[in-house]
Amino acid sequence: MLRQAKWLTRGAFLFLLCAGPTAQAFDIEGATRAYLSSTSAEAIANTDGYVNTGYVIMLLDTVAAVLFAWLLLARGWSRRWRELAERKLKAPFAQAFIYVPIYALVSSVLLFPLTWFSGFYTEHKFGLATQSFSSWFGDFLTEGLVTTVLFALFVGLLYMVIRRTRDNWWAWGSGLSIGFMLFALFISPTFIDPLFNEYRPMDEGPLKERILSIARANGMQTDDVKQVDASRQTNRVSANVSGLFGTARIALNDNLLNRADADSVEAVMAHEIGHYVLNHQIKMMLALLPILLAIFFFTNLIFRALLQRKGEDWGVRGIDDYAGFPLLAAILTVVGLLATPVFQRVVYTQEYEADLFAINATQNPDAWAKVALLTAEYRKLEPSDFEENWFNHHPSPYMRIYMAMRWKAEHLPQDEVMEKTVAAP
């Protein structure tokens, strides 16, 4: 027995000695590069141009917000709108429903060239949009009306908070912002999203059952998957989980169904289910609270400093005066831009977690890698480390594919790993 045990030990040692290098033979970086190489240089240049243009637009939006605020304040327009609201309505809360629509209409008209450039021209230039101008403009008007109503409600509540809490308004205002976001998430699937797209039940079949099976297996109580006609606006592939509590739903767009195979569709939907299962919406709000607290705190300091210097010239009586809203909005925009990298990291972390959830739920890393390539049409294939860490709100296609290949190397049997590596594009 002792002799047999020695031979068994030697055999096991030799097996490990031989199998050890084989287990390391799967080249994660090489497999990732194999996928990336299927994207042409022209496509990469087009996406890089689109993303870089987005950075410029972000800066232009901020500059435009500052200039617009200066125009309204320096010309006395904001003061006159406040006076009109006070003449028509006595209740300060109700006055927001006169001031805000005027503000929204004027801003929409004056800033329309930038809106057209970012929302219509740029999307068409880089081959992502499918809408005609008339269709896009119709959506623009609809969105403007909905946004104005919700915005007037929020501004009215915010100024009520400012009047009642005075110096501490920035803390209470942050909480109000979170609450309003939750309210918007709750009503969006039922009352807002259907204004722009048709949501219908996904066609019955094996793929739908695979998606629902993943949902049920991970504790998501749902018996349906929605399909949205996003192709009327864009050719991007995407899916989402939206709503809260009784309005929660999972939906995929028709581009995903038309452009990806069944395994990749399943992987994307597993990602969205992951957001729901991991309670990302609630966690997002909790993570946003300290960010908003900082944004509102510095906005309060800057607003009060400017008010002391220019308040009389602008006709702004105090921070609780609607006439000062353009200044408040401009400061929030600038400070918010500076806080963007922090916010992006919060989103990025949740997307990374949902990516891993999808790969683990489907046990199909190659399906995830293939669909990640489709997102390279509007996200840089392989951005710099600085962009990846501070400007990306989703992992780049490179990072997502690398993640999938790393999972493959650690989980699949070695002979299957090698077989699938050879088959990768």
Spell out, as residue ranges, where the chain has pLDDT lower than 50. 1-23, 421-422
Q: How many CA atoms lie within 13 A of 17 on its CB side?
A: 6
What distance in Å separates the CA atoms of residue 251 and residue 262, rounded to the nearest whole number? 15
Q: What is the DSSP string of 167-184?
A: GGHHHHHHHHHHHHHHHH
Give the residue carrying structure tokens 């005066």: 321
C-alpha Rg value of the chain to the nearest Å: 26
What is the number of other CB atoms lying within 10 angstroms of the CB of residue 59?
Answer: 11
Question: Which of 298, 168, 271 minimizes the C-alpha distance to 176?
Answer: 168
What distance in Å separates the CA atoms of residue 242 and residue 253, rounded to the nearest whole number? 13
Q: How many CA atoms lie within 13 A of 36 on its CB side?
A: 20
Structure token digits, residue 160: 């009520």
What distance in Å separates the CA atoms of residue 197 and residue 229, rounded to the nearest whole number? 6
**Edge-to-edge strands of the sheet including 226-228?**
199-201, 226-228, 249-253, 239-242
- Of the chain, the end-to-end C-alpha distance in Å amounts to 51
For residue 23, what pLDDT is reported?
42
Return the SS3 of 361: helix
Question: Which of 363, 91, 371 minimizes the C-alpha distance to 236?
Answer: 371
pTM confidence score: 0.88
Structure token digits, residue 72: 């309204």
335-379 pLDDT, tens digit per residue, is 999 999 999 999 999 999 999 999 999 999 999 999 999 999 999
Q: What is the DSSP string of 261-313?
A: -HHHHHHHHHHHHHHHHTTHHHHHHHHHHHHHHHHHHHHHHHHHHHHHHHHHH
For residue 63, what pLDDT is reported?
97
The mean pLDDT value of the chain amounts to 90
Structure token digits, residue 49: 């141009």
CA angle 60, 170, 162 (to 5 degrees): 105
What is the number of other CB atoms lying within 10 angstroms of the CB of residue 397?
Answer: 26
Return the SS3 of 294: helix
Alpha carbon separation from 296 to 11, 311, 318, 329 (Å, rounded): 68, 19, 16, 11
For residue 247, what pLDDT is reported?
63
Return the SS3 of 376: helix
Return the SS3 of 220: coil
For residue 412, what pLDDT is reported?
66
Whether 252 and 197 have beta carbons less than 8 Å apart is answered as no
What letter would DSSP give residue 202? Answer: P
What letter would DSSP give residue 203? Answer: P
Q: What is the DSSP string of 50-110?
A: HHHHHHHHHHHHHHHHHHHHHHHHHTTHHHHHHHHHHHH-SSHHHHHHHHHHHHHHHHHHH
- Beta strand extents in 236-288 (DSSP E only): 239-242, 249-253
What letter would DSSP give residue 121? Answer: I
What distance in Å separates the CA atoms of residue 95 and residue 90, rounded to the nearest whole number? 7
Structure token digits, residue 329: 């909005």
